Structure 1
Amino acid sequence: MARTGYGNLYCRRNSKLDSFLKRNTDRAVYERIRAYEPCVVISDTVNKVYMHVVLSDECVYLTEYPPRTLTAAVNLSRVRDIELINDLPDFLSGKDREHSQHIRIIYAAAKPAAKGDDWQGRDKKEGLPPAAPPSHRNHHLTVPPTLEGVGSLFSENNWRISPEPPQRNHTVGGEVEVHMLRPVRSASCPDPETLGLLRLPRPRGHPPSPTPSLHSFVSPLASPSSPLSPLERSPKIHEAGQVYRRRGSVLARLLRRERVNSRERDGEKDGEEREKEAELHLYAVSQMSRIYLHLQSSWSSYIIRSTLLLDPLYRRRCSTSSSSSPRSQLPAISWERTAHLFRQLSAELLQEGLNLESLYLLLQELRTAALRNITLRKLFWRSSEMCVFLVQTLEDSLHGCQSPQGVHTADQLLLSTLTAQTLAVMFRETEVEPARLSLLTAKKGALTARMLLALVCDPELQTHNQGTPVDSELQALLAEYLDAACSLLFELVVLGQEASRCSSVENFLTVGWILRVLQPHPHLLSFIGYQAQQVVLVLSDVQRSALSPLQSVLLFQRCRLLLACLQYSHQLGQHLRSHYREEFRYYVKLSCAEEKLPSHYPISQPALRLVKQLLALILHR
């Protein structure tokens, strides 16, 4: 967690609160805390109380001022919208009232437990625990179970080559499993998913509550391996148990019948009540507050990550396969061990004379390890050599694939795509890392400018033999690169939007600066035009099938990119309106977008709002 101040983007360090969080949270939660800031809080359980708001990658926590307890207020999985309200709160006065920022978080309230289930000991409650009163202290806080397949425990021996045989591990209780596949990385390995990389434990659902029910008084169907006790062999006790079982079954049938009748009477009204929205209001009283930026950034990262985890291939890259072999759980990999492994991998990547195949496999390992370990992403920005190396690789590979005489054009496109994907992963969830901003702003943003100019390319592949099967394959590879380049440019635009809201002179990486750097690029207009064409193609009526998780995330990123072009660049805005206004007018329909974006995707509703804003700006005369 980065809490040291750099410019005005980061929150000031509070040693007392930081020490409290370190003592009262799990290590996995503490390392993923992005920011904290004092605010006046108004919610269903708190009314105008000055508290600390603690923001992690998955949850918003509240603690008193000074801190005594830590309560999970809102999980990002339930957030529907985050708004900045322009008003003057009447309960504040003076400069606090003038400089306050009113942030409203709209989220889905937790579903109430079904009636009649508690007597059977079934735990069907969902959502976050209610806010604890100040008199109760939470001495330990666990990670909220939100994203399946993502955990915080890493095996040291899984990352790199190990001579040990395959191992499979899981806890006896069945709650967490750690799987160790054979760690192999070979240049002749055709399947990138079999590389020996960091493997995450896959959390399992918690077992039912052990509260005894009527069915648990006597068990006549005992296991042959466990003989009955003298108490269970008693005829009277056995007969009483059968009576309890009969009464329990009758009660169970009556309750089930009552629940079915209740559902039929209530119909859809019951479902609407369960998804009732609630609000959390935060009033930041500091003029230099950045809590709204951190909230928006955390929520955006969360919905992207949780949507991508719905894709089986992406989920396999971020987690390991299931296993039932009983093994003890391995401890979490330490920061020092991760740093050592990262230095080892960096040394292999930076060595001279590395052939193209070895470079590709090493970059695959770096990308996959970065997907699974946020510590590695932070270490990446603290090592300027690795970022410079990736930018140089992107420049060289794109220059090679655009050369008509290049004999490895397909290989160069593959390498360019992997390099852009790796750089995009390094940007995720590292907004509050001071080393990232220091590196990107060094020498007036020289490295950032190189990255921007390197990722933009001509969307039309120029070859001598048009119409051949090889050309169609190259076009497919080029389309994959353009998707990766859009994701990387999206991350840079998000960085620029955060800087645009800051008044610091040091942080000049605004969206306007980014577009000014790209303006002289010869292929900028065609590159942005290609991204607009893809939005029209995805949202048109030509193909009525629902979008995949990856396509939904790309649509979200492309809409954010096009909106930035329309809002911050007169040249790009005029180009999009003059060349693509009619396509958006006749082919892009909100009703079609609602059909193509599945409702269970976390990114669907934010993407629909972006499509609506994009249509309004492009069709505006």
Structure 2
Amino acid sequence: MGRRVRERGVKGDIPMARTSADGLLCQNNSKLDSFLKRNTSRDVYERIRVYEPCVVVSESVKKVFMHVILTDERVYLSEFPPRALREALSFRHVTSIELINDLPDFLSGQERERSLHIRVVYTAKDTGKKSKRPKGSSKNKPSPTQGLNSSARHSLEGMSHILLSTRSAPSESSSWRISPTSMSDGVLEEEEGSVIPKRRSASCPNPDVLGLFNTSPTHSSSSSPSVALLPSITTDQRPLAFSHRGSDLTREMRRTITEKQKEEDEKEEELHLYAVSPSSRIFLHLQSSWNSYIIRSTLMLDPVYRRRCGISSFSPRKQKYHKIGWERTCHLFGQLSGELLQENIRLESLYLLLQELHTATYRNPTIKKLFWRSPDLYPFLVKTLAESSQGDQEGVHTADRLLLCTLVVQILSLMFRETEIEPTRLSMLMSKQGALTADMLLALVCDPDLQLPDSTKDSKSSITKMHRLQADYLDAASALLFEVVVLCQEASRTTSLGHFLTIGWVFRLLKPHPFLLPFVGYQAQQVVLVLSGPQYPVSPSQAVLLYQRFHVLLACLQHSTCLSKYIRTGFKEEFRYYVKTSGLEDKLPHHYPISQPAQRLLSQLLSLVLQKP
């Protein structure tokens, strides 16, 4: 099955990794890469994040040097040379990923001293001693192809049917579509069967792009001149009261019974990986992949998010959009980029084009790669955010500018998500000594108290709407700050990279910002408000936002002295009396993949906030 590890250490002639010193993918293992490309579908191959050789120890694998292959949803193993691909585990079943500080006895010399021991704990079905399932076998529901697998050999036949994919077969009636009028308060209407318009948008009359970017036929160049009249593309992340409490209670009871039965049928297993490369980043990639999975799979429980991704509510695992080749996608992306970067573009046209970019990115992840490979789009969005965030009158925001800022921040957050293996992203973020990234962070942080003009004559409903738009922006800003914090924390753990994008750099940059303290205080206040409110579950989108705020606040407490003092001084009593881990269990249902990681983060957060000086 694989090359056994000898007592004298691992042989040095085995290719070490697909991961370079900076943690990015590189083609230095052509044999494995060719094997994966030849024996997996394009959808599966494109979802491979990284691979690296490690010594593997589990119930079914005993100290074997194997390729460890990470995808969006699973960890696979393959031999030297690669002959078959076997599933080790699914991120759906992972409960913890941690480093173990020890020296393995089965290694010697330099391999023993520099080895990195990673323990992955996950749950597996307990089938009893008589019919114990090997750890590397699939944990999903049985299918005809899965029945062909065994513990000794996992054939690639039918692998494309077993692996979950976010894509489906081409459809004549589905494409990337954006219809501003169909989006109201974060709800997207189904667009199946809609008539293909003659124009993509008011600012793009070119019919060649109709295959990807479509607008509703009701929109033309005669659209309303005020963007404020257009609803924002944001998910309403505030909880809603349940209207059918009886049926909800019944469903909750059934779910509880099902979860208890499931827990009784499961047991904990461990996968141990020993990385022997001095430049190994397999631990960071494992954590990043797991973190991305729990966020994405939780959001997939939200019907609004599924519709944005072009996924049918009746078939949540099938994504509906045209499968378009790389060259065609590049061509259409280039057209959209050109329109965005044109001079003297009107605010409304800019907003509509950004909406198209936002929706297209949800429908096709290739857009993220093209975004970071473009030398102009990231600087353009940062400049747009910086200019719009200044407002019209000394920081006073209009509804138009709030909508535009929120959309820009949402796009940036989406582009950061799951692009850590894109080489050009790090280069772009570090360009000009991080000047663009610094400008983005400084523009992102704002005064959470909405400043309205003194002469405003708006009605009470208009002022309420402005406050809601401000809350939407602050939610989006929290999500983007989370992405930057995760990026910098990973860089901080890899000192060999030698670049300055660390979590310490972020807080040193933001420390002089006049609104940093109230901005962070707002994030803490929202955590207290959500956890001290009525005891009904939050929506999947709000659960993710809560997790992101936990993460940001924890980073503030761990890496910034002034922010740590500010949070403890201003919110210690609120956290002591209103924030309880037991309350979080009521807020976050057990079937949310993000629930347990969020509870662990809250425990750490409470420990730091309440600790004595």
Q: Scaled by the length of structure 1, what TM-score is found? A: 0.77
Give 3-state SS (helix, strand or coil) of 1:109's partner: strand
The answer to whether the aligner puts 1:67 opposite 2:59 as a matched pair is no
- 1:584-620 CA distance string (max 9 Å, x none): 1111011111111011101000000000000001111
Aligned to 1:550: 541
Query: Which of 138, 142, 152 is 2:156 aligned to?
Result: 138
Contact conserved, 1:38 with 1:51, CA < 8 A, in 2?
yes
Contact conserved, 2:18 with 2:52, CA < 8 A, in 1?
no
Contact conserved, 2:60 with 2:151, CA < 8 A, in 1?
no
Aligned to 1:427: 416
Aligned to 1:151: 167
Give 3-state SS (helix, strand or coil) of 1:437's partner: helix
Aligned to 2:278: 287
* 1:38 CA displacement: 0.6
The answer to whether the aligner puts 1:520 opposite 2:509 as a matched pair is no
Contact conserved, 1:456 with 1:523, CA < 8 A, in 2?
yes
The answer to whether the aligner puts 1:333 opposite 2:327 as a matched pair is no
Aligned to 1:175: none
* 1:352 CA displacement: 2.0
- AA matched with 1:125: P
Q: Output the CA distance in 1 between the equivalents of 2:300 and 2:259.
A: 29
Contact conserved, 2:528 with 2:574, CA < 8 A, in 1?
yes
Within a 5 Å distance, the mapping from 1:367-406 to structure 2 comes to 367-400=358-391, 403=394
Query: Which of 284, 305, 308 is 2:299 aligned to?
Result: 308
Cα RMSD (Å) of the superposition?
A: 3.3
- AA matched with 2:543: S
Aligned to 1:492: 484
Q: Output the CA distance in 1 between the equivalents of 2:393 and 2:275.
A: 51
Aligned to 2:526: 534
* 1:277 CA displacement: 2.1
* 1:522 CA displacement: 0.9
Alpha-carbon distance change, 323 to 24 in structure 1, aligned in 2, over 3 angstroms: same
Aligned to 2:402: 413
Q: Scaled by the length of structure 2, what TM-score is found? A: 0.78
- 1:271-291 CA distance string (max 9 Å, x none): 434222222111111122100
* 1:19 CA displacement: 1.1
The answer to whether the aligner puts 1:483 opposite 2:475 as a matched pair is yes
- AA matched with 2:71: S
Within a 5 Å distance, the mapping from 1:433-448 to structure 2 comes to 433-448=422-437
* 1:354 CA displacement: 2.0
Query: Which of 7, 21, 45 is 2:36 aligned to?
Result: 21
Q: Output the CA distance in 2 between the equivalents of 1:124 and 1:377.
A: 32
- AA matched with 1:318: C
- AA matched with 1:23: R
Q: Output the CA distance in 1 between the equivalents of 2:170 and 2:371.
A: 18
Aligned to 2:494: 502
Give 3-state SS (helix, strand or coil) of 1:34's partner: strand
Alpha-carbon distance change, 365 to 619 in structure 1, aligned in 2, over 3 angstroms: same
Query: Which of 41, 46, 49 is 2:61 aligned to?
Result: 46
Q: Output the CA distance in 2 between the equivalents of 1:566 and 1:614.
A: 8
Query: Which of 471, 493, 501 is 2:463 aligned to?
Result: 471
Aligned to 1:607: 598
Q: Output the CA distance in 1 between the equivalents of 2:393 and 2:290.
A: 38
Aligned to 2:8: none
Contact conserved, 2:176 with 2:360, CA < 8 A, in 1?
no
- AA matched with 1:34: R
- 1:384-420 CA distance string (max 9 Å, x none): 20111111111122112664676xx111101111110
- 1:83-108 CA distance string (max 9 Å, x none): 11222222212221221111111222
- AA matched with 1:418: L
Query: Which of 8, 22, 32 is 2:47 aligned to?
Result: 32
Aligned to 1:262: none
Give 3-state SS (helix, strand or coil) of 1:303's partner: helix
Aligned to 2:608: 617
Q: Output the CA distance in 1 between the equivalents of 2:170 and 2:407.
A: 24
Q: Output the CA distance in 2 between the equivalents of 1:156 and 1:566.
A: 52
Contact conserved, 1:187 with 1:357, CA < 8 A, in 2?
no
* 1:196 CA displacement: 7.8
Q: Output the CA distance in 2 between the equivalents of 1:32 and 1:299.
A: 14
Q: Output the CA distance in 2 between the equivalents of 1:43 and 1:566.
A: 37
* 1:295 CA displacement: 0.6
* 1:576 CA displacement: 0.9
Q: Output the CA distance in 2 between the equivalents of 1:128 and 1:510.
A: 44
- AA matched with 1:334: G
- AA matched with 1:52: H
- AA matched with 1:517: L
Alpha-carbon distance change, 159 to 520 in structure 1, aligned in 2, over 3 angstroms: farther
Contact conserved, 2:118 with 2:274, CA < 8 A, in 1?
yes
Give 3-state SS (helix, strand or coil) of 2:121's partner: strand
* 1:186 CA displacement: 3.9
Give 3-state SS (helix, strand or coil) of 1:400's partner: coil
Query: Which of 444, 450, 461 is 1:455 aligned to?
Result: 444
Q: Output the CA distance in 2 between the equivalents of 1:385 and 1:546.
A: 42
Contact conserved, 1:72 with 1:128, CA < 8 A, in 2?
no
Aligned to 1:565: 556
Q: Output the CA distance in 1 between the equivalents of 2:300 and 2:211.
A: 20
Contact conserved, 1:413 with 1:481, CA < 8 A, in 2?
yes
- AA matched with 1:427: F
* 1:78 CA displacement: 1.7
Q: Output the CA distance in 1 between the equivalents of 2:423 and 2:536.
A: 43
Residues 43-52 or 397-406, more deviating: 397-406
Alpha-carbon distance change, 308 to 17 in structure 1, aligned in 2, over 3 angstroms: same
Aligned to 1:100: 115
Where structure 1 has 5 or more consecutive residues not aligned to the other structure, the ranges are 116-122, 163-177, 189-194, 200-265
Contact conserved, 1:7 with 1:507, CA < 8 A, in 2?
no
Residues 364-373 or 297-306, more deviating: 364-373
The answer to whether the aligner puts 1:82 opposite 2:71 as a matched pair is no
Aligned to 1:5: 20
The answer to whether the aligner puts 1:125 opposite 2:126 as a matched pair is no
Alpha-carbon distance change, 469 to 133 in structure 1, aligned in 2, over 3 angstroms: closer
- 1:193-245 CA distance string (max 9 Å, x none): xx98579xxxxxxxxxxxxxxxxxxxxxxxxxxxxxxxxxxxxxxxxxxxxxx
Where structure 2 has 5 or more consecutive residues not aligned to the other structure, the ranges are 1-16, 131-139, 179-190, 204-209, 215-256
Aligned to 1:345: 336
Give 3-state SS (helix, strand or coil) of 1:53's partner: strand
Contact conserved, 1:153 with 1:333, CA < 8 A, in 2?
no
Q: Output the CA distance in 1 between the equivalents of 2:117 and 2:538.
A: 35
Q: Output the CA distance in 2 between the equivalents of 1:547 and 1:267.
A: 20
* 1:29 CA displacement: 1.1
Percentage of identical aligned residues? 59
Q: Output the CA distance in 2 between the equivalents of 1:460 and 1:292.
A: 40
Residues 133-142 or 67-76, more deviating: 133-142
Residues 368-377 or 500-509, more deviating: 500-509
Q: Output the CA distance in 2 between the equivalents of 1:34 and 1:64.
A: 18
- AA matched with 1:414: L
Contact conserved, 2:213 with 2:360, CA < 8 A, in 1?
yes
- AA matched with 1:619: L
Alpha-carbon distance change, 99 to 161 in structure 1, aligned in 2, over 3 angstroms: closer
Within a 5 Å distance, the mapping from 1:576-591 to structure 2 comes to 576-591=567-582
* 1:504 CA displacement: 2.9
